Amino acid sequence: MSATDILREFAFPARSVTIMLSALFIFLMLKFALWGGLMGLFLMFLILPSLFHYLMRLLDARSRGEEPGPLDAEDLMWYHAPWRLFMIVQLVFAGYVLWTLGGLYQLPGLLVTGALVAAVLPASLAVLAITRSPLQSLNPQAIGNLIGRTGASYWILPTYLLLAGVVLRWLSTQGLSGFFLDLFGYYLVLVFFSLTGAVVQPYNLHEEVDIHEPVEPRAEVVEERLLQDRNNALSHAYGFISRDNRRGGFAHIESWLREDPDPESAWPWFFDQMLRWEDKHPALLFGQSYISQLLAHGEETQAVKIMMRCRLHNAAFAPLADDRQAALQAAEKSGNQELAEFLRSRV
């Protein structure tokens, strides 16, 4: 990794409007929570998950050569992607070790311990992002494999951590404190997670890090767990939709669909379940998105079937405007003249 690449990664959070707006929102909410007394404690409990979620999303995205999406409702939930929150345990443990040994051995102990923590912590966080396994992030073999695979590039990260700590300490002794020092330190944290992902990315460690695979559960167990997860996602979405927050409900379902291990079966499952609700309108709106997916993947016969099912509940149902020409062609190919005639009137 060249010096130019490091400087580019240092500026990456500032160059991305999505990251800066999301990170700045979290920072301001945290500052407000610190000033908010008892109400601030409640706000802190709500906003802390978003901080840890987003930092791990940043590391994970950069390790894949991507940019994380904006902050969303999922980032405020403690139970969503709980593996990301294991970072709290890692940071608390590192802080406890530094505090304990620093108290016992003063400055020399603090420096030695800080160097050891700086050497191991980036690898542990990277393993957590790659494997999504808290246990593997503590596995010395997995950590050693990652350090060995990334080679000399890895040592940029411990060096950065130590230099960032020295710079912040020096700035505090020069009289800089309060809001601006906190903001600068917060930006250095963003850079650390972005830089960690950038160091990992060229080596394709999502596939190559030698971490033992867990024993796979039986197929029926996997199916049962997937069904339970989908039911939980649908129930949570129903909570949004039932309170007239359809955008939030559909955003939750779409977020789940991006992570579902079998999206081809997930789309019809969610559609069928929503049709069982007393109010069919959300199912019809979801049906429009489902039809878009089917047409985009060339599944015209299935798209026609979904259109017909939707029209059973509302004869005026039509696909989204951008999909109507493709839907008309699908109806004509299937020989469904009634549907084709209806769609011609809507194109």
Is residue 146 included in any domain, yes or no?
Answer: yes
Residue 36 and residue 157 share a domain: yes
Residue 316 and residue 268 share a domain: yes
Please name the residue that has the structure tokens 């985009």: 296
Of 208, 231, 254, the domain-final residue: 208
Q: Name the residue range of residue 188's domain.
A: 3-208
User: Looking at residue 207, what is its pLDDT?
Assistant: 64
Please name the residue that has the structure tokens 């800066």: 20
d(CA 195, CA 10): 7
User: Looking at residue 121, what is its pLDDT?
Assistant: 92
Is residue 214 included in any domain, yes or no?
Answer: no
Comparing CA positions, the residue from 261, 338, 251, 323 lying closest to residue 293 is 323
Residue 61 and residue 202 share a domain: yes
Beta strands (DSSP E) in the chain are none
Query: Hey, CA dihedral for 101, 105, 111, 113, is it positive or negative?
Result: negative
Number of domains into which the chain is organized: 2
User: Looking at residue 95, what is its pLDDT?
Assistant: 76
String of DSSP letters for 52-70: HHHHHHHHHHHHTT-----
User: Looking at residue 102, what is its pLDDT?
Assistant: 63
Q: Radius of gyration of the chain from Cα atoms? A: 25
Residue 162 and residue 57 share a domain: yes
d(CA 242, CA 165): 48
Q: What tokens were used for 302?
A: 């299935």
Is residue 100 included in any domain, yes or no?
Answer: yes
User: Looking at residue 114, what is its pLDDT?
Assistant: 76
Q: What tokens were used for 324?
A: 């109507």
Given a contact cutoff of 8 angstroms between Cβ atoms, the answer to whether 101 and 110 are in contact is yes
Residue 279 and residue 140 share a domain: no
Residue 298 and residue 194 share a domain: no
Of 208, 243, 274, the domain-final residue: 208
Is residue 236 included in any domain, yes or no?
Answer: yes
pLDDT in tens, the chain (347 residues): 677 777 888 888 888 888 999 999 999 988 888 887 777 778 888 888 888 889 999 999 898 888 888 887 777 776 667 888 888 888 787 777 767 766 666 666 667 777 888 899 999 999 998 888 898 999 999 999 999 999 999 999 999 998 998 899 889 888 777 888 999 999 999 999 999 999 999 887 766 544 444 445 567 777 888 888 899 889 988 988 888 888 888 888 988 888 888 888 999 999 999 999 999 999 999 999 999 999 999 999 999 999 999 999 999 999 999 999 999 999 999 999 999 999 998 87
Residue 44 and residue 158 share a domain: yes
Residues in the chain: 347
User: Looking at residue 212, what is its pLDDT?
Assistant: 47
Is residue 213 included in any domain, yes or no?
Answer: no
Residue 92 and residue 50 share a domain: yes
Is residue 266 included in any domain, yes or no?
Answer: yes
Residue 265 and residue 185 share a domain: no
Residue 331 and residue 191 share a domain: no
pTM > 0.95: no
Given a contact cutoff of 8 angstroms between Cβ atoms, the answer to whether 114 and 76 are in contact is no
Given a contact cutoff of 8 angstroms between Cβ atoms, the answer to whether 67 and 19 are in contact is yes
Residue 236 and residue 204 share a domain: no
Residue 88 and residue 33 share a domain: yes
Please name the residue that has the structure tokens 């301001």: 28
d(CA 155, CA 280): 57
Q: What tokens were used for 267?
A: 């789309």
Is residue 102 included in any domain, yes or no?
Answer: yes
Is residue 176 included in any domain, yes or no?
Answer: yes
d(CA 52, CA 47): 9
Of 187, 208, 229, the domain-final residue: 208
